[in-house]
Amino acid sequence: MPEEQKKIIFSGIQPTGTFTLGNYIGAVRNWIKLQEEYNCIYSIVDLHAITVKQDPAKLRQHTLEAYALILACGVDPEKSIAFIQSHVKTHAEMNWILACSTQFGELSRMTQFKDKSAKHPDDINAGLFTYPVLMAADILLYKTDLVPVGVDQKQHLELARDVAKRFNQKYGELFTIPEPYIPEIGAKVMSLQDPTKKMSKSDENPNACIFILDDTDTIIRKFKRAVTDSDSEIRYAEGKDGINNLMTIFSAVTGDSFEKIERDFAGKGYGEFKLAVGEAVSEALRPVRENFARLMQDKEYLKKCYSEGAQKALSISQKTLSKAYRKVGFVDFK
Interface region with ligand TYM, contact rule CB under 6 A, candidates 150-158, 227-235, 255-263, 268-276:
150-158
Interface with ligand TYM, residue 23, by CB under 6 A:
yes
Q: What is the smallest separation between the CB atom of 132 and ligand TYM, expressed in angstroms?
A: 8
| Contact status: 152 vs ligand TYM (CB under 6 A) | yes
How many residues bind to ligand TYM according to rule CB under 6 A? 25
What DSSP assignment string belongs to 210-266? -BTT--HHHHHHHHHT----S-------TT-HHHHHHHHHHHHHH---HHHHHHHTT
> Taking CB under 6 A as the rule, does residue 146 contact ligand TYM?
no
Q: How far is Cα of residue 192 from the mean position of the Cα atoms in its chain?
A: 19
247 binding ligand TYM? (CB under 6 A): no
Edge-to-edge strand ranges of the sheet holding 81-84? 81-84, 39-44, 8-13, 146-148, 179-181
Pick from 325, 306, 329, 327: nearest CA to 317:
325
**Binder to ligand TYM among 153, 251, 282, 320 (CB under 6 A)?**
153
Q: Does 29 bind ligand TYM (CB under 6 A)?
A: no
Binding status of residue 27 toward ligand TYM by CB under 6 A:
yes
The region of 23-31, 70-78, 229-237, 261-269 touching ligand TYM under the rule CB under 6 A is 23-31
Closest-by-Cβ residue to ligand TYM is: 26
Instruction: Please state, in angstroms and rounded to a whole number, the distance separating the CA atoms of residues 236 and 249.
Output: 12
Instruction: Select the residue interacting with ligand TYM from 88, 149, 302, 321 (CB under 6 A).
Output: 149
Give me the residues that bind ligand TYM (CB under 6 A), please. 10-14, 22-23, 26-27, 45, 48, 135, 138-139, 147, 149-150, 152-153, 156, 187-189, 198-199
